[in-house]
Amino acid sequence: MTGQFTYPPDREETSAAKVAALESLLIEKGVITGQTVDKVLAYFESEMTPLNGKKIVVKAWTDPDFAARVVDDTPAAIAELDLPEGMAGAEGEHLQAVANRPGVHNLIICSLCSCFPWPVLGLPPYWYKDPVFRARAAREPRHVLAEVGVDLPDDTEIKVWDSSGTHRWFVIPERPSGTEDFTAEELMDLVTTESMLGVALAGPAS
């Protein structure tokens, strides 16, 4: 998309200066403190990361009862696990998992904005927020998935979930074959943010 437009050479420097001025004024005016933004960012780095989602997926892969529960009542199932406090916190108030299975592939999008399950996946990657992805994934998900390397059998149903309401969605991808002897740590390495949104299959990170 960027290639469609021309931008000033100091594009980033200007934004950086503007946001620094904004933060500085908010601090001076007593809205936030000098530590606020750093504390927010540190919280996301330590508490709300895709590591939580990976643990949920691996638990579902290794415990069939949990796999059923995490789809039926996602918050309750997640609460069973040893994850940081706050999995029902900001943008996790109403989590909903959907599970891929043979013949069914789920894809999460947010056509209106960028709704995202922060506590379990962290913050949304750029592709998810891209208006072009959002536009195309709604109408031609099979084509978009093929473009990013997910070639699905013709008879596999694609379920597209548009996060336009109050729930925040993520995917339990299918466990790759040939991983029966993998440890939990090895299995976690196969789970990517992309696979938990449906634009990739679980497998070694590319």
The C-alpha atoms of residue 137 and residue 143 are separated, in whole angstroms, by: 8
Angle, helix 50-62 to helix 64-72, in steps of 10 degrees: 130
Q: How far is the CB of 20 from other proteins (least distance, A)?
A: 5
2 to 31, contacts with other proteins by CB under 8 A? 2-5, 12, 15-31
Q: Which is nearer to other proteins, 21 or 184 (CB)?
A: 21
Is 163 one of the binding residues for other proteins (CB under 8 A)? yes
Is 203 one of the binding residues for other proteins (CB under 8 A)? no
Q: What angle do CA 91, 97, 99 make, to 5 degrees?
A: 155
Which residue is catalytic, options 15, 24, 46, 113? Answer: 113
Judge whether 115 counts as a catalytic residue: yes
112 to 141, contacts with other proteins by CB under 8 A? 112-114, 122-127, 129-136, 138-141
- The residue whose two tokens read 């679980």 is 202
- DSSP letter for 2, please: G
Q: Give the DSSP letter string of 69-127.
A: HHHHSHHHHHHTS---TTTTSTT-TTEEEEE-BTTEEEEEE-SSS----HHHH-SPPHH
Is 175 one of the binding residues for other proteins (CB under 8 A)? no
Sole binder of other proteins in the list 86, 99, 182, 203 (CB under 8 A): 86
Amino acid at 153: P
Is 149 one of the binding residues for other proteins (CB under 8 A)? yes
Judge whether 113 counts as a catalytic residue: yes
Q: How far is the CB of 180 from other proteins (least distance, A)?
A: 28
Question: Which listed range, 52-60, 64-72, 92-100, 182-190, lies at the site for other proteins (CB under 8 A)?
Answer: 92-100
Output helix, strand, coil percentages for the chain, rounded to the nearest 5: 45, 10, 45
Judge whether 110 counts as a catalytic residue: yes
Q: State how beta strands 157-162 and 104-109 pair.
A: parallel
Q: Which is nearer to other proteins, 89 or 182 (CB)?
A: 89
How many residues interact with other proteins (rule CB under 8 A)? 92
51 to 70, contacts with other proteins by CB under 8 A? none
Q: Bridge-partner residues for 60, per DSSP?
A: none
Catalytic residues: 110, 113-115
